[in-house]
Amino acid sequence: MASHKRTRGLDQSTRDSLSALDIALAATESESMRPDEFSVEQYMAKRMQRDPNVTRDQCKYELSKLITSGVLKCRKIKIGVSRCNVYSKA
């Protein structure tokens, strides 16, 4: 582990604790969607314009089929404290 100026003079356990705290704080930061990505909610909103009776499960199923066929790809991001799948062109 590289020594940083702010941790000089601290014992190893304190430096390790600070590193763990930094890791924990970094893990709670939100990620953002890229301009070419969309969420299930956005897809569902567009689908409901064509078919008002569509359900979230149907939308998720359709997206999973598009991933399986190689049309879309998916990645997980964190928004606040919850995780979200975002989709983009493969």
Phi–psi pair at 85, nearest 5 degrees? -85, 135
How many domains does the chain contain in total?
1
1 belongs to a structural domain: no
14 belongs to a structural domain: no
- Over residues 39-67, mean pLDDT: 96
26 belongs to a structural domain: no
The reported pLDDT for the residue numbered 1 is 47
80 belongs to a structural domain: yes
| Range of the structural domain that residue 83 is part of | 32-90
3 belongs to a structural domain: no
Judge residue 26's burial from the number of C-beta atoms within 10 Å of its C-beta, 0-12 exposed, 13-18 middle, 19 or more buried: exposed
Question: What CATH number has the domain bearing residue 59?
Answer: 1.10.10.10
11 belongs to a structural domain: no
pLDDT in tens, 15-40: 676 677 776 776 667 778 899 999 99
